[in-house]
Chain A
Amino acid sequence: MAVIPEIKETTLSLNAIDKTYDMGVEQVHALRGVSLDICRNEYIAIMGASGSGKSTLMNIIGCLDSPSAGAYYLEGENVAAMSENQLSEIRNRQIGFVFQTFNLIARASIFHNVELPMIYGGIPRGERRRYAEEAITRVGLNDRIKHKPNELSGGQRQRVAIARALVFNPSIILADEPTGNLDSRTGGEIMGILDELHAAGQTIILVTHEEEIAQHASRVIRLKDGEVESDLRVDDTDACIAPSESLHLVGGATS
């Protein structure tokens, strides 16, 4: 074993992930041999042309989808071996999703939207209230707690979605083009919130095709046709040499 200068905990580790969609006549290779190690408190931007496999990768990391081949370890656990209910629990506790289209429940109040993950997590009412209020305050919407989503602007809705994603203190926040439906100023505000979360120790992976947005991240992974084209660290403060890195050859991970 090589001597490792500074070991940061690996949050997740992807090893030779393939994702193939069988479309009858032909097969679509959405991902081909993607290997990545991501450590705690990394701030990663995934970039690439449309159809390059960014969303597919995010869905696999978020345990919404399973790879056709390859291994995925999340917090040291083999995701492929997990039951349907265990996957639900992972999505519930370890993953916070932020979608391009917000995906709030229209009929429910901001508060209820944010407490929803905790309901499925079986958290008692009092704690739910406390955590939800805390999360809503963090995204600066404490005066809108009883409003419905349709009473908010797009930027505010995305902030609600972020509050919902972070309310359970997840291992990773996954944001798939979180600013895609917002104008650049509002998008900047959203990025400001993500920057703050990162500064507070949150691991964040976001998908974007805007260089400007990607600059917020400290590591940029570029996909092309389902393969990692490049994996660059913008700054090294969060860099990690994961223990697993020494066990397999990683094509993309450069430092």
Chain B
Amino acid sequence: MRFALDLIESFRMAIDAIRANKARGALTTLGIIIGIVAVVLTLTAANGLRDTFRQSFSAVGSDVIYVSQMPWIMMDDFFNYRNRPPIDLKQARELESKLQGRAIVNPYLGERRDAKYRSEIMEGVQIIGTTEKQLHMSSAVPATGRFLQPFDVTYKKQVCVIGSEIREALFGSANPLNQMVKLGRTEFRVIGVMEEQGGSFFGDGPNFDRQITIPISSFVKAYGGRHGRLNVDLAVKAPSSESMEMVEYMVIGEMRNIRKLRPTEDDDFAINKLDTLIDTFNNMMGVVLLVGLLVTSISLFVGGVGVMNIMFVSVTERTREIGLRKAVGARRSSILFQFLFESAFICLLGGLIGILLSAALTAVINATLMPASVSVLILVIAVVVSLTVGVVAGFVPAYRGARLDPIEALRYE
């Protein structure tokens, strides 16, 4: 009962104090507002990045190793990689036969071409030449029609499987199956449409919805002559995620053999894994969180100091009132609680303004940069953070007020 009454009295006091000093309160909360905006935006951005990342790579198997001339993420100078000999189809077949029964090897090639269906054109579409084994490499399956079959590859069939965005752009609501699309100068018959996979994480990175898959043999025939030597990428699927490490080890060994590297020479090919991307992503996330944390703590610190200052003023201004309250029976804890409440209340107001502001900014980010939304958890965190700042910043002033000697307080002018 006493505590409940303290609460009501504290609330009344806080409202009175804030109402009496609107401008001052508003200025003090500025730091808190900025701090809370920083908290909310950091967490929202981190969430958005993570979601986008997950979505983009949901189709990439975590048990697949990619062997390429270049690493996906270059740690070194680009030119050091460019001089490496490319991986050709012969090497691809060699690796496949060496790993026979131990892992599935699927070669693929990529080029960008304009895709055309009647009057509809989509420019610079990623064309992938690969085999039916692609189905083992990711969770993506056709939504309608079928995927490539061995005989499509063997007989260099002019057929293609399109991504969901391609279908929309070229065909709209029409049925694309068995329609002819022109990819560059060659016509292909649509035999399937892949399920929607979600957008791309990196602006220009793999986007399964915006790509067209054709048999690798047809790819070589249609586009192989143009740049001279082909540069094949190999996807190697381990039988299980546990055997990933062993398969990677085998792949490196076989590739070194196939490419006739001497023991002293470094690998002249790159092993790429989803793990590598996850590492990079985690680094990015780390930077976002670190910067966010820095901005957040600086502004909350500044805001907290401001609130502490205001609370000292508030306690001093009400010295006589504190004396009076003590004379009529307020305990130290009641006084302490009243000022802590006021401080927390000011910070909560700042926090709420901050949340509204962040919601508006998030809407802008959502419309421009990436999908982002403020989650309930983030709101709870923001509220808890602002209350905590209020309690921490208010403690010393409140404690000082609570410890005031009632007689001296009553005599204070």
Interface size on B, residues (CB 8 A): 26
A89-115 toward B: CB 8 Å interface, digit per residue (1/0)? 101110001010001010110001000
Q: Which of A64, A85, A88, A119 contacts B407 (CB 8 A)?
A: A64
- Which residues of B (1-56) have their CB < 8 Å from a CB of A? 1-2, 5-6, 8-9, 12, 16, 20
Alpha-carbon distance between A123 and B6 when the two chains are bound, in angstroms: 11
| Chain B CB within 8 A of A116 CB | yes
* In contact, B327 and A64 (Cβ under 8 angstroms): yes
Q: Which residues of B contact A121 (CB under 8 A)?
A: 2, 329
| Chain A CB within 8 A of B113 CB | no
Q: Which of A59, A85, A97, A123 contacts B328 (CB 8 A)?
A: A97
* Least distance between B405 CB and chain A CB atoms (Å): 8
| Chain A CB within 8 A of B157 CB | no
Alpha-carbon distance between A85 and B16 when the two chains are bound, in angstroms: 27
Q: Which residues of B contact A120 (CB under 8 A)?
A: 2, 5-6, 9, 325, 328-331, 334
Q: Which residues of B contact A84 (CB under 8 A)?
A: 331-332
* In contact, A119 and B9 (Cβ under 8 angstroms): yes
B300-336 toward A: CB 8 Å interface, digit per residue (1/0)? 0000000000000000000011011111111111100
Alpha-carbon distance between A28 and B365 when the two chains are bound, in angstroms: 70
* Least distance between A96 CB and chain B CB atoms (Å): 8
* In contact, A92 and B2 (Cβ under 8 angstroms): no
Interface of chain B, main secondary structure: helix
* In contact, A105 and B324 (Cβ under 8 angstroms): yes
Residue among B16, B328, B331 with max Cβ neighbours from chain A (10 Å) = B328
A178-209 toward B: CB 8 Å interface, digit per residue (1/0)? 00000000000000000000000000000000
Interface size on A, residues (CB 8 A): 27
* In contact, B410 and A116 (Cβ under 8 angstroms): no
Residue among A64, A108, A124 with max Cβ neighbours from chain B (10 Å) = A64
Alpha-carbon distance between A99 and B369 when the two chains are bound, in angstroms: 65
Alpha-carbon distance between A206 and B321 when the two chains are bound, in angstroms: 22
Q: Which residues of B contact A164 (CB under 8 A)?
A: 328
* In contact, A122 and B1 (Cβ under 8 angstroms): yes
* In contact, B1 and A92 (Cβ under 8 angstroms): no
* Least distance between A243 CB and chain B CB atoms (Å): 29
| Chain A CB within 8 A of B184 CB | no
Q: Which residues of A contact B86 (CB under 8 A)?
A: none
* In contact, B326 and A107 (Cβ under 8 angstroms): no
* Least distance between B62 CB and chain A CB atoms (Å): 62
* Least distance between A237 CB and chain B CB atoms (Å): 31
The answer to whether A92 and B410 touch (CB under 8 A), given A103-B324, A119-B5, A124-B1, is no
The residue in chain A whose Cβ has the minimal distance to the Cβ of B5 is A119
* In contact, A91 and B328 (Cβ under 8 angstroms): yes
- Interface residues of chain A, those whose CB is within 8 Å of chain B, are 59, 62, 64-65, 84-85, 88-89, 91-93, 97, 99, 103, 105, 107-108, 112, 116-117, 119-124, 164
